[in-house]
Chains A and B, each alone.
Chain A
Amino acid sequence: MSLTVAITDSSTATVRAALTGTKRDVRGYIFAGALLFCLLASLFVLTVLMWDVVASAIPVFDKRSTGFLTSELASSPDKAGVSQGIWGSLMIAGFVVVLAFPTGIFAGVYLEEYAKSNRLTRLIELNIRNLAGVPSVVYGILGLVVFVKGLSWLTGGRSVIAAGITLAILVLPIIIITTAESVRAVPSGLREAGFGVGATQWEVTRDHVLPYAAPGILTGTMLAVARALGEAAPLLLIGAITGRLASLPGQGLVDRLQGKFTAMPIVIYGWANEVNKPGKITGLTFEDLNAAAIVVLLAMVLLLNGAAILLRNRFEKRRQS
């Protein structure tokens, strides 16, 4: 009998063979082949893109070394660098972390754990889902009207604060949705067990639901920051600088936050518009610099994602122990 076989040798292959007999699973093989093809196709596209960019970027890092990372926007590809872009993008990421993370996670938990499931809640949820699909340039217009013009006393006009708040709002729906999804995926047995031993809703949410949902929530926040780092359209409307960005010496942090700014996607956008005349010293063009800037932006996203993955693993380990 097949059952006895399964007990003595329980490896998947033996079990499957015992259950299906000698019949060949042709459709299964075709399906598996199709899956593999799709994976390889996307990997191929990614590899070609990466290779194209990295190959053009290597001469820049070779000739300019770290000067490329520490220099500011400039007229010549011999001198131009991404330091201001990195600063602006990190500030924007900071605003997203500070503003959108708590707001989004709390809103998501409220929607799933606390809100009554009625028509209003469903309407709100539907709207948040739709907001996640609104083109980013629309958020740019919102940022321009509300944060650049309306709240200029706070943001200082076309500043990194206005950009940060706008992008925080842009990614808010993504964080709310992923949080709600991860919280929904928590087995209800976990909650019931908590309530069964007399825990309050707050205690169940804090000690059981949130730790269990944390990896999923972190994945959502990670995607949100990556999205915020890569957005260019809203920043164009808010007025990130492309040509030259200078501030008076000795400015404080508040002045810098309220002053004019640029960010990595805008640096890339601006350099794509430059005349491709090779620099006199290095022979590099802005096209080469652009490839290097893309690599820097990729590295930034990768670093942030890496940090989030490490955090997620720590959460998972703590839950298992």
Chain B
Amino acid sequence: MNKSKGRLVLASIVGLSMFAAACGEDEGAVDATTTPAAATTAPADDAATTTGAPAIAGGEVFVTGSSTVEPISVLVGELADELTNGELAVTVEGPGTGDGFAKFCAGEADISDASRKIKDEEAALCADAGIEFVELEVAIDGLTVATSPANEAVTCLDFAALYALIGPEAEGFGNWTDAQALATELGSTSATFPDADLVITGPGPESGTFDSFIEIAFKKIATDRGTDPKAARNDYTQSPNDNVIVEGIEASDSSLGWVGFAFYAAEQDRMKAIEIDKGDGCVAPTVETIADGSYPLARSLYIYVSVSAVADNPAVGAYVDLYLSDAGVAAVSEAGYVDIPTERIEASRTTWADATA
């Protein structure tokens, strides 16, 4: 009996390897290990940094922090790998902005990616550990409030309506119309809410995407009303995984949720972006409106660089140089985010130059 079972397993192993071999022989197979697009945009005459020149310091760099910023750091890391033939070895992980700062302030990482500014208590943690840092703005993200494409009743919301639907006082609202009274009281000019289930999926409080959404949309209203300016309602589906949020938004015809712009841009057929009105009319999230600041829910993405790591390890400085170079900036749109305006990237470059001078 055992023998036949053994044969069965053996047979399945052989079958699997044959399957793999057959795939290997496929003539149509694309060997996809070709040069990434970023390499073609490598700058030839970047005055601000020494990119392109052979003298990039080698060594190991460890980047932790926001999973939103992670793709940009990975792309710049790949660029560094190509320009130095692997001598500048950059390792990147994305456990989240908060977890990232915890590691960064414990001295475990050279750089921390962040999808929001560092909090006072996190900065205090860094100060206690004697870790000085430089904050550099590297990209812009537009927090995209979205619903199902089937939800035709909702096209535009203002901050008052968002607060009425998702804010701490919305706890228990199971239908869009439940929020109507509060929205009207807050002076919302959004159209009447539909009589449909209110199904919310979004990031949880451990996420930088949560923090920045609450900060931008609710802080003023919450302060005026004396509610917790850092809280949302607790009774909605929370997930740290943006793809789960996309699925949640897609799953119900009267859904509501918010994700980073890159996730909306890649999945536009699965969800509909709700335009945001901050008093100057409804604005949809697009690369243009996010870049020029007219989209109200735009937020900056940052990297925090440890000053002592730069002093001890020239590779960290070389990597940040590359990050702020034109080639590094090209990685931002490659990763699905929006380039910051020229004067702001210049400001980051100046901050960086001053910090390393």
Residues of the A chain whose Cβ atoms lie less than 8 Å from the Cβ of B85: 249
From A41-49, A59-67, A86-94, A102-110, give the one contacting chain B: A59-67
Is there an interface contact between B91 and A244, defined as CB atoms closer than 8 Å? yes
Indicate whether A10 reaches chain B with its CB closer than 8 angstroms.
no
User: Smallest CB-CB separation from B336: which chain A residue?
Assistant: A275
A190 within 8 A of B: no
User: Which chain B residue has the least Cβ–Cβ distance from A313?
Assistant: B6
- Shortest CB-to-CB span from A266 to chain B, Å, is 10
In the assembly, what is the distance between CA of A64 and CA of B75, in Å?
20
A294 → chain B closest CB, angstroms: 14
Report B264-281 residues with CB < 8 Å from chain A CB: 265-267
Question: Could you say which interface size class chain A belongs to?
Answer: 35 or more
Question: Is B12 engaged at the interface, CB distance under 8 Å to the other chain?
Answer: yes
Selected from B28, B37, B70, B90, the residue in CB contact (under 8 A) with A242 is B70
The interface-forming segment of A19-27, A32-40, A276-284 is: A276-284
Contact A71/B33 with A239-B93, A273-B243, A275-B263 known, Cβ cut-off 8 Å: yes
Residues on A lying within 8 angstroms of B by beta carbon are: 61-67, 71, 73-76, 78-79, 157-158, 215, 236, 239, 241-249, 260, 270, 272-277, 279-282, 287, 299, 302-303, 305-306, 309-310, 312-313, 316
3 interchain residue pairs of minimum CB distance: A243-B92, A246-B89, A65-B29
Query: What residues on A are CB-neighbors of B19 within 8 Å?
Result: 61
A243 CB contacts on chain B under 8 angstroms: 63, 70-71, 73-74, 91-94
Contact check, A245 vs B87: say whether CB atoms are below 8 A apart: no
Residues of A within 8 A of B187 (CB): none
Taking the closest CB of chain B, its distance from the CB of A280, in whole angstroms, is 7
User: Are A299 and B16 in contact (CB-based, < 8 A)?
Assistant: yes
Q: A109 to B172: give the CA distance in the assembly, Å.
A: 58
Q: Which residues of B contact A (CB under 8 A)?
A: 2-3, 5-6, 9-10, 12-13, 16, 19-20, 23-24, 26, 28-34, 36-37, 58-60, 62-63, 67, 70-71, 73-75, 77-78, 81, 85-87, 89-95, 108, 240-243, 262-263, 265-267, 334-336
Nearest Cβ distance between residue A60 and chain B, in whole angstroms? 9
Whether B36 contacts A62 by the Cβ 8 Å rule is no
Query: Which residues of chain B are within 8 angstroms of A71 by Cβ–Cβ distance?
Result: 32-33
Q: Which of A65, A244, A273, A299 is within 8 Å of B31, CB to CB?
A: A65
State the CA gap A273–B73 with chains docked (Å): 15
Check if A310 sits within 8 Å of B32, measured CB to CB.
Answer: no
Q: Given A244-B91, A244-B92, A277-B266, A305 and B58 touching (CB < 8 A)?
A: no
Flag if B91 contacts A241 (CB, 8 Å): yes
Q: Taking the nearest CB of chain B, how far is it from the CB of A195, in angstroms?
A: 29
